[in-house]
Amino acid sequence: MPHPDTVTQATLKRVAFALADAAGAAILPHFRTAGLLAENKLESGFDPVTIADRAGEKAMRDILAAERPEDGILGEEFPNTVGTSGLTWVLDPIDGTRGFISGTPTWGILIAVGDADGPQFGIIDQPYTKERFWGGYGQARWTGPGRDAPAVTRPTKSLSEAVLFTTFPEVGTPEDKRGFDRVAQGCKLTRYGMDCYAYALLAAGQIDLVIEAGLNAYDIQAPIAVIQAAGGVVTDWAGNPAHDGGRALAAANPQIHAQALELLQDLN
């Protein structure tokens, strides 16, 4: 499906920003509050959800029902909505709920809009630090306290100079961890626990690689749009599109992506 015309692009950007504003307003009153309860979605393990997650997604869905009723919606907390326009909004009201309930400001609101071929426009929003990273339709920007500038990825060409992030030290399965470790051993610095904020830092030119596994579409579509608009590359570990989730390799540029991908190829 071709990209929408410029008028529609402007409308989609406006609506995406309205979604981020509404979700932030619904979520922030619950952040770092005493007595915030987290339900566990899993019978084995821990995948929390809170009233803030559901309030944030509901706020976004209410706007879409009024502004873009013909579009589909894929969200984390409520059933999917089938649309008729060919466009789908992919929503994660709090990416990093574990961090959210722990009081760390590395969670974020993820919003993407696109079609079956993947996201066309995306936002990574951190309302507590008042930072917003967005990209698509030929633009990428990073706004925050004292900053409003283009988002541009780093030109790092050698893996030995790269900074690598992931969320969980175990990454995913034992096989996933072996692949991650193979790349990490060749990098200058490896850090953990940043959730979607790691992808934002990559788009903003602060780090070089994010490698993760076990993702859902709503975890990765917004980061894909932002990073690609900023000059980066996002694929799965075999070099294929990653917008449906699973394993993801996000890199600041094609050169560093190729080096990391080569080390992951043996797993595929």
Residues near 55 by Cβ (< 8 Å), separated by ≥ 6?
26, 27, 30, 93
Token couple for 67: 């502004």
Confidence of residue 2 (pLDDT cuts 50, 70, 90): confident
CB atoms within 10 A of CB 259: 19
Lowest mean pLDDT among 24-28, 173-177, 254-258: 173-177
User: Which band of pLDDT confidence, cut at 50, 70 and 90, is reported for residue 8?
Assistant: very high
Convert the pLDDT of each residue in 80-110 to its tens digit.
999 999 999 999 999 999 999 999 999 999 9
pLDDT attached to residue 43: 63
**pTM for the structure as a whole:** 0.95
120, 220 Cβ separation under 8 angstroms: no
- What are the tens digits of pLDDT across the range 158-202? 999 999 999 998 898 999 999 999 999 999 999 999 999 999 999
Find all residues with CB under 8 Å of 73, minimum gap 6, and list them. Answer: 61, 64, 80, 81, 83, 88, 89, 91
How confident is the model at residue 188, as a pLDDT?
97
Structural domains of the chain ordered from first start: 6-150 (3.30.540.10), 159-267 (3.40.190.80)
> Rounded to an integer, what distance in angstroms lies between the CA atom of residue 18 and that of residue 64?
10
Identify residue 228 by its one-letter amino acid code.
Q
Give the containing element (helix H, strand E) for 251. strand 246-251
- Element at 127 (helix H, strand E): none
* pLDDT(268) > 60: no
* Neighbour count for residue 118 (Cβ, 10 Å): 19
43-82 pLDDT, tens digit per residue, is: 667 778 899 999 999 999 999 999 999 999 999 999 999 9
Query: d(Cα 232, Cα 251) in Å, to the nearest integer?
Result: 6
Which amino acid is present at 130? K
